[in-house]
Structure 1
Amino acid sequence: MHETRAHIAASAAALRDELVPSDDLSRLSDRAADILRESGGMRLLQAKDLGGFEEHPNEFFDWVIQVGTEHPSAGWIAGVVGVHPWEISIMHPLVQEEIFGNDPDALTASPYAPFGRAVRVDGGFRFSGRWPYSTGTDHAGWIILGGMVADESGVPLSPPDVRHFVLPKGDWTIVEDSWDVMGLRGTGSKDVVIDDVFIPDHRVSEAPKMYDGSYARERRPGSPLYQMMFGLMFPAAIAAGTFGVARHAIRAFGDAMAGKVSVTGNAARTSAIQLERLACAEADIEASVAHFRASIADLYAFVDDGGEITLDQRHRFRRDQVRATGRCVEAIDRLFLHSGSTAMGDAHPVSRAWRDLHVASTHVCNNSELTYQAWGAHRFGGPIPPGVAF
């Protein structure tokens, strides 16, 4: 077991204790954030020369799943925030030094949606905008924001010029009370606002070059980890966060079944229907995780052998990834139908786990319909629908 996972295993009880406090705060509690930092898991995808482990991606995804099994919101943050060191490792060396030079454990948030507008000025851009869903921002020292280059009046250029802009803490404002949701409350995925902030050129990356692997080939040609493609790694981090929530839900259902007795005196732990539902759910979730890990391992072995990931491989991975996360949601839904009225209370662990999983399922990277449509269009030679980033 990697040392990062060993730390989470040793801190499991403490992490579980922070689940409800994090939900109540609508952000990750300070103690939960400390446990993630102390584990070192956020550095698993970080380049060695930046103080990271530069590990096989499955080491990172296993860590994310393990965190989420104990604390779903912490696991979601582990995936979303923990994948950023991978991207930063292929950014401009100056921004790498700014972020990690004095603190290899620095955390970075990221709403990538291109809601910002950037106007070119000498040496960089003036940047403004508002973004929802900024996961883990309360504990982040940096943020990556999506935006479009615009003309002097703020109208985006045509064709769109989408970029990623990196800002230090103090350049953005968190909109408190903007994360009032039914599940994953502890992620603190609040809105952030910036107003006419200067961003120097070295903190700006062109999104197409990030997505097509140009930056990775230019800046990290000797490392297979950075040839894995942004359009695979970020959805994979979302999938790992979802798997962690699903495993947490299985535990919640199992714990509830252990002590549940019906009005007729029948124990749930000996009910054929209840046991069948639990067994199928556990098997479906573990099959999904195994399929996901095998797909990642195959792609990593391919690039480690000098291959360049093809469009076909990217579509197939995304197809399989959304099917794996969807299978987890379906499995838990079948269980939920047999959880009984006592599990319907807002504070009940089963209800909380079910809500967390359904919020996780709404992330665009778990959107099966759009992904299947893109895969089908690719398979049969049709146009790829807009909105799918590969």
Structure 2
Amino acid sequence: MGNPVLEAITQRAEEISALGSANETLCRLDDQAAKVLREAGVIRMLQPKIHGGFEFHPREFAETVMKIASLDGSTGWVAGVVGVHPWEMAYADPKVQEEIWGENQDTWIASPYAPMGVARPVDGGYVFNGRWQFSSGTDHCDWIFLGGMLGDEEGKMAKPPEPLHLILPRSDYEIVEDSWNVVGLRGTGSKDVVVRDAFVPGYRVIPFSKVVDGSAAREAGLTNPTYHLPFSVAFPLGITASVIGMAEGALAHHLAYQKGRVQITGTKIKDDPYVLYAISEAAADIAAARSALLDNASRMYDLVAAGREVTFDERAVSRRTQVQAAWRAVRAVDEIVNRSGGNAMRVDNPIQRFWRDAHVGLTHAIHVPGSVFHVSALTQLGIEPPQGPMRSMI
């Protein structure tokens, strides 16, 4: 069986690409761009079959996100970020799944997961408050996952800290307009959201610890190995796949642009061995980044499919592979953009947009190498990494 979602995207490639400028101007996805993703079924790739999803292999999801991002970075980013939320929603109480997908299986769920709110326990649930940045694709979503910390009776963060994922309908949070004005990924519409004294019933709350240790998937009775991937594999997958797709898009536009270009010196690009070398090196690095990310997802899938629990050491190496893949791809983009000439920076040349989008994508917290590389090195040295923040992104 092929990947019908990828086939649908390929058939509408020109349309997705043409909408890139509109997305950037609007500072959110154009309604037509969102419609293309819905009609192709992109956001249902990791959604449970019981609610109209496909339950695809994570590799197929990543390949599809890469393709979309190679056509337009913002559309690919939204596909990767919003597309992974049904994966976690599969863990949630069947009651909230029915609330979200019962009437419309194409309902989208936003985020972010950063624990920027406090949930105060009350009878039957929690009273929730907070403000979050970076809610990608939020204008096209009707529900949201928000990260929060368990509070005490006074609304202060409880000790020891306990992170939660809370699920809210659109009526319970405010999207802050004009809160997304950036140099890249403008079309993602990654706006701020605010929650003020919203009541969140207990069945709409998932302890983050259960997502991380895999018990949420086991308790939900899920059998597809995709749902037993570590969170640190599944959540970054769509984001990194989109960045690598942006690198592929930059390369494609660079090649098309350079094919007939003559430098100010009168030298044709096809006759410049230095530029040709840079093109080949960049193409190889982008291809290697792609292979590394897809292989990593497949290896993690095979481990859980075999009934193995993925160890902390394996998770650390997996995250190192994912982070390095993103950085390798974006460094390659820099090499070719630096050889594209000043006209590549004109607004009507897509190269500059892919370049900006890829760099902004690299700034996401999951792509910060410091603690990930530190911890993965310690594990390979056979040294137990310290508890606390150093382990939090693993």
Taking structure 1 as the reference length, the TM-score comes to 0.97
Quote the Cα distance in structure 2 between the aligned partners of 1:301 and 1:307: 9
Question: 361, 381, 384: which is aligned to 1:381?
Answer: 384
- The one-letter amino acid paired with 1:16 is S
- The one-letter amino acid paired with 1:286 is A
Q: Which residue of 1 aligns with 2:337?
A: 336
1:267-300 C-alpha deviation (Å, 9 max, x unpaired): 2233211111111111111111112111211221
> Alpha carbons of 1:241 and 1:220: their partners in 2 closer, same or farther (altered >3 Å)?
farther
Quote the Cα distance in structure 2 between the aligned partners of 1:111 and 1:217: 24
Aligned: 1:138 with 2:139: yes
Quote the Cα distance in structure 2 between the aligned partners of 1:118 and 1:129: 9
Superposition deviation, residue 216 in structure 1: 0.6
* Counterpart secondary structure, 2:259: helix
Aligned: 1:72 with 2:73: yes
* Counterpart secondary structure, 1:83: helix
Uncovered stretches (5+) of structure 1, i.e. residues with no partner:
none
Contact 1:245 1:357 in 2 (8 A): yes
1:310-339 C-alpha deviation (Å, 9 max, x unpaired): 112111111111111111011111112212
Quote the Cα distance in structure 1 between the aligned partners of 2:184 and 2:351: 12
Instruction: Map 1:260-339; keep pairs closer than 5 Å.
Output: 260-339=261-340
Contact 1:295 1:317 in 2 (8 A): yes
Q: Percent identity?
A: 42
Quote the Cα distance in structure 2 between the aligned partners of 1:201 and 1:347: 50
Quote the Cα distance in structure 1 between the aligned partners of 2:104 and 2:8: 20
Q: Which residue of 2 aligns with 1:127?
A: 128
Superposition deviation, residue 6 in structure 1: 0.8
Q: Which residue of 1 aligns with 2:230?
A: 229
Superposition deviation, residue 9 in structure 1: 0.6
Q: Which residue of 1 aligns with 2:7?
A: 6
Superposition deviation, residue 58 in structure 1: 0.7
Which deviates further from its counterpart, 270-279 or 114-123? 270-279
Aligned length: 390
Quote the Cα distance in structure 2 between the aligned partners of 1:385 and 1:269: 53
* Counterpart secondary structure, 2:334: helix
Which deviates further from its counterpart, 64-73 or 257-266? 257-266
Contact 1:373 1:385 in 2 (8 A): no
Quote the Cα distance in structure 1 between the aligned partners of 2:353 and 2:227: 36
* Counterpart secondary structure, 2:144: strand
Superposition deviation, residue 370 in structure 1: 2.1
RMSD between superposed Cα atoms in Å: 1.3
Superposition deviation, residue 59 in structure 1: 1.0
* Counterpart secondary structure, 1:181: coil
Quote the Cα distance in structure 1 between the aligned partners of 2:261 and 2:99: 54
> Alpha carbons of 1:77 and 1:169: their partners in 2 closer, same or farther (altered >3 Å)?
same
Quote the Cα distance in structure 1 between the aligned partners of 2:275 and 2:150: 55
1:61-109 C-alpha deviation (Å, 9 max, x unpaired): 1111111111110000000000000000111111111111111111000
Contact 2:366 2:393 in 1 (8 A): no
Instruction: Map 1:42-57; keep pairs closer than 5 Å.
Output: 42-57=43-58
Superposition deviation, residue 255 in structure 1: 2.1
Q: Which residue of 2 aligns with 1:212?
A: 213
Quote the Cα distance in structure 2 between the aligned partners of 1:156 and 1:73: 35
- The one-letter amino acid paired with 1:29 is D
Taking structure 2 as the reference length, the TM-score comes to 0.96
Superposition deviation, residue 359 in structure 1: 0.2
1:148-179 C-alpha deviation (Å, 9 max, x unpaired): 12123321011112101101112111111111
Contact 1:377 1:383 in 2 (8 A): no
* Counterpart secondary structure, 1:199: strand
* Counterpart secondary structure, 1:61: helix
Instruction: Map 1:34-113; keep pairs closer than 5 Å.
Output: 34-113=35-114
Superposition deviation, residue 346 in structure 1: 4.2
Q: Which residue of 2 aligns with 1:184?
A: 185
Quote the Cα distance in structure 1 between the aligned partners of 2:260 and 2:350: 13
Superposition deviation, residue 207 in structure 1: 0.7
Superposition deviation, residue 31 in structure 1: 0.5
* Counterpart secondary structure, 2:270: helix
1:159-211 C-alpha deviation (Å, 9 max, x unpaired): 11210110111211111111111000000001011110111111011011111
- The one-letter amino acid paired with 1:149 is L
Q: Which residue of 2 aligns with 1:242?
A: 243
Aligned: 1:371 with 2:352: no
Contact 1:374 1:384 in 2 (8 A): no
- The one-letter amino acid paired with 1:290 is S
1:344-367 C-alpha deviation (Å, 9 max, x unpaired): 334432221111110010011111
Q: Which residue of 1 aligns with 2:360?
A: 359
> Alpha carbons of 1:383 and 1:103: their partners in 2 closer, same or farther (altered >3 Å)?
same
- The one-letter amino acid paired with 1:74 is T
Contact 1:177 1:190 in 2 (8 A): yes
- The one-letter amino acid paired with 1:381 is E
Quote the Cα distance in structure 2 between the aligned partners of 1:308 and 1:223: 15
Quote the Cα distance in structure 1 between the aligned partners of 2:217 and 2:305: 14
Quote the Cα distance in structure 1 between the aligned partners of 2:369 and 2:130: 29
Contact 1:146 1:165 in 2 (8 A): yes
Q: Which residue of 1 aligns with 2:253?
A: 252
